[in-house]
């Protein structure tokens, strides 16, 4: 394939301080993507790379989708920006309606943000303010979970449970506690779908409630399926039990669906898939197919209406972003939801998930593979770490796969995959076949 001359790579890479990246290593051997179409990226050196990760779990409809591209083009020429506070524009209302119609029935209201991290902060703030609005002002504590990932802002890293995301940043929020994680490789290794063991770990909430008193706790936030910590599938019964206990103690339940939203499990949201209804759903990524930054918090009528009691001229929630419901993001969101619907992509994900599961579990027995986990179009392959050099083995697998024209992702020594929902069986064969080759040769 010819070099793409329309996207020359600058000689100087020093100015851009890259996020969550080993900057010095990257800049010595850059991996530059210059264009993308459907299931593939094109690299600066002219290779086509199969996207096994939907970008960063966000391009659920694949890349360069005409309807989304056109909607953005049109919107930019029609209304580029409108003030987000005390003013409105039609597309934000339209997108909110469509999101409400797609979301589980109790989710009747939508607050727009620009990312998963901002959606998390928004949901946590709404939870505390809601408790106050209903006369429960002592409920300010937030409960997260070990190994949880809720973005990188202060609220999110406080309720999150990934040590490197927390330990460099001071004392974080006060009044936070954590449930234990549910990763039990000793009992659950190589489970297909939801693991059998660990549902009882939700009962640990009782211990936390007993320690602090239920009247101090505002909300519990969890990822229904944890992604960034290495694909942790909830054990059978776990989410149901968490819902029972939060309800029993007057605690709100927030699902962080930044990666599970928009069809990843073959249903619109994980709340639908597991048939467990939280009080708020946090989403982002797939909302605009990753094309324009946008996030949202979906909330029940009960939560929304609790804020609507004061004088009508007074702002009800002192929260919002300059770009909340940005016109171009809203247009992209509408076109994205239409694309999902017209192409039946959520149903497609459900249909192809068994093939994905079989392909993934065919890696069992290859060198260093100590666990394989899957649900919907999510897959995790855990490798035995190299003694004294954690993360190195999986990262080497990532580099080797990229050299062989396949994009995967790693976190710790876990390979995480989450392809676009338009993936075909042939792509799955290439993705898993290439990974198998890589694993066979890996030291």
Ligand X SMILES: Cc1ncc(COP(=O)(O)O)c(C=O)c1O
Based on the shown chain and the rule CB under 6 A, indicate whether residue 223 belongs to the binding site for ligand X. yes
Which residue lies nearer to ligand X by CB, 40 or 264?
A: 264
Query: What mask of x and - would describe binding to ligand X in positions 81 to 100, judged by CB under 6 A?
Result: --------------------
Measured between alpha carbons, how far is residue 36 from residues 30, 46, 49, 336, 400 in Å?
A: 17, 12, 9, 17, 21
Based on the shown chain and the rule CB under 6 A, indicate whether residue 227 belongs to the binding site for ligand X. yes
Based on the shown chain and the rule CB under 6 A, indicate whether residue 120 belongs to the binding site for ligand X. yes
Based on the shown chain and the rule CB under 6 A, indicate whether residue 117 belongs to the binding site for ligand X. yes
Q: Are 297 and 126 in contact (CB under 8 A)?
A: yes
Q: Which residues contact 302 (CB under 8 A, 6 or more apart)?
A: 279
User: Beta strand pairing status for 176-179 and 141-145?
Assistant: parallel
Stretch that binds ligand X, among 63-71, 76-84, 143-151, 394-402 (CB under 6 A): 143-151
CB of 119 to ligand X, least distance (A): 7
Based on the shown chain and the rule CB under 6 A, indicate whether residue 115 belongs to the binding site for ligand X. yes
Which residue lies nearer to ligand X by CB, 292 or 369?
A: 292
Based on the shown chain and the rule CB under 6 A, indicate whether residue 150 belongs to the binding site for ligand X. yes
Q: Are 285 and 261 in contact (CB under 8 A)?
A: yes
Rounded to whole angstroms, the Cα distance separating 157 from 152 reads: 6
Rounded to whole angstroms, the Cα distance separating 353 from 351 reads: 6
Based on the shown chain and the rule CB under 6 A, indicate whether residue 324 belongs to the binding site for ligand X. no
- DSSP secondary structure letter of residue 384: P
Which residue lies nearer to ligand X by CB, 71 or 284?
A: 284
> If you search the block for the tokens 């602090």, which residue do you land on?
212
The candidate with the shortest Cα–Cα distance to 159, out of 203, 117, 129, is: 117
Q: How many residues belong to the chain?
A: 443
Write out the binding residues for ligand X, residues 151-180 only, by CB under 6 A. Answer: 151
Based on the shown chain and the rule CB under 6 A, indicate whether residue 323 belongs to the binding site for ligand X. no
Measured between alpha carbons, how far is residue 277 from residues 128, 148, 195, 282, 304 in Å?
A: 19, 19, 21, 13, 16
Burial-class residue 125 by CB neighbours within 10 Å (0-12, 13-18, 19+).
middle
What is the chain's Cα-based Rg? 22
Residues pairing with 112 in the sheet: 296
Which residue lies nearer to ligand X by CB, 155 or 327?
A: 155
Rounded to whole angstroms, the Cα distance separating 168 from 237 reads: 35
Which residue lies nearer to ligand X by CB, 16 or 20?
A: 20
Which residue lies nearer to ligand X by CB, 91 or 150?
A: 150
Based on the shown chain and the rule CB under 6 A, indicate whether residue 256 belongs to the binding site for ligand X. yes
Based on the shown chain and the rule CB under 6 A, indicate whether residue 380 belongs to the binding site for ligand X. no
3-state secondary structure at position 282: strand
Strands, DSSP E only, in 60-164? 107-113, 141-145
Query: What mask of x and - would describe binding to ligand X in positions 259 to 298, judged by CB under 6 A?
Result: x------------------------x--------------
Based on the shown chain and the rule CB under 6 A, indicate whether residue 116 belongs to the binding site for ligand X. yes
Which residue lies nearer to ligand X by CB, 151 or 325?
A: 151
Based on the shown chain and the rule CB under 6 A, indicate whether residue 39 belongs to the binding site for ligand X. no
Candidate list 112, 149, 274, 395; residue touching ligand X; CB under 6 A: 149
Stretch that binds ligand X, among 45-53, 148-156, 415-423, 428-436 (CB under 6 A): 148-156
Based on the shown chain and the rule CB under 6 A, indicate whether residue 356 belongs to the binding site for ligand X. no
Based on the shown chain and the rule CB under 6 A, indicate whether residue 222 belongs to the binding site for ligand X. no
Q: Which residues contact 223 (CB under 8 A, 6 or more apart)?
A: 148, 149, 150, 255, 256, 257, 258, 259, 260
CB of 284 to ligand X, least distance (A): 5
Based on the shown chain and the rule CB under 6 A, indicate whether residue 228 belongs to the binding site for ligand X. yes
Query: What is the binding site for ligand X (CB under 6 A)?
Result: 115-117, 120, 149-151, 223, 227-228, 256, 258-259, 284
């Amino acid at each position: 394939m010819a070099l793409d001359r329309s996207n020359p790579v600058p000689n100087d890479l020093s100015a851009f301080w890259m996020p969550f990246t080993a900057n010095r290593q990257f800049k010595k051997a850059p991996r530059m993507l210059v264009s993308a179409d459907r299931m593939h990226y094109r690299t600066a050196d002219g290779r086509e790379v199969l996207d096994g990760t939907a970008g960063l779990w966000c391009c659920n409809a694949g890349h360069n989708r005409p309807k989304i591209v056109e909607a953005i083009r049109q919107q930019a020429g029609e209304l580029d920006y409108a003030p987000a506070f005390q003013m409105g524009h039609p597309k934000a209302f339209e997108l909110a309606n469509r999101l409400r119609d797609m979301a589980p029935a109790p989710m009747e209201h939508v607050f727009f943000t620009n990312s998963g991290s901002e959606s998390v902060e928004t949901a946590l703030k709404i939870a505390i303010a809601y408790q106050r609005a209903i006369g429960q002002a002592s409920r300010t504590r937030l409960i997260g979970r070990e190994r949880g990932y809720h973005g990188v802002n202060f609220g999110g890293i406080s309720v999150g449970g990934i040590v490197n995301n927390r330990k460099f940043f001071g004392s974080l929020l006060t009044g936070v506690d954590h449930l234990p994680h549910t990763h039990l490789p000793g009992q659950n290794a190589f489970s297909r779908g939801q693991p059998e063991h660990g549902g009882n770990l939700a009962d640990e909430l009782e211990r936390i409630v007993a320690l602090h008193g239920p009247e101090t706790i505002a909300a519990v936030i969890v990822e229904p399926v944890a992604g960034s910590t290495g694909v942790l599938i909830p054990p059978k019964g776990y989410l149901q039990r968490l819902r029972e206990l939060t309800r029993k103690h007057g605690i709100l339940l927030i699902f962080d669906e930044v990666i599970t939203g928009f069809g990843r499990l073959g249903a619109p949201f994980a709340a639908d898939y597991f048939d467990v209804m939280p009080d708020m759903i946090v989403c982002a990524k797939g909302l605009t197919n990753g094309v324009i930054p946008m996030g949202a918090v979906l909330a029940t009528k009960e939560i929304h209406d609790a804020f609507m009691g004061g004088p009508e001229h007074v702002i009800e929630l002192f929260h919002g972003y300059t770009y909340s419901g940005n016109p171009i993001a809203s247009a992209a969101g509408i076109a994205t939801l239409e694309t999902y619907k017209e192409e039946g992509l959520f149903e497609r994900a459900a249909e192809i998930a068994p093939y994905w599961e079989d392909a993934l579990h065919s890696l069992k027995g290859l060198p260093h593979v100590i666990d394989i986990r899957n649900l919907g179009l999510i897959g995790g392959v855990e490798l035995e770490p190299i003694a004294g050099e954690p993360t190195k083995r999986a990262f080497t697998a990532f580099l080797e796969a990229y050299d062989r024209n396949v994009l995967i992702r790693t976190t710790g020594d876990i390979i995480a995959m989450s392809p676009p929902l338009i993936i075909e069986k042939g792509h799955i064969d290439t993705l898993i076949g290439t990974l198998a080759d890589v694993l066979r040769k890996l030291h």
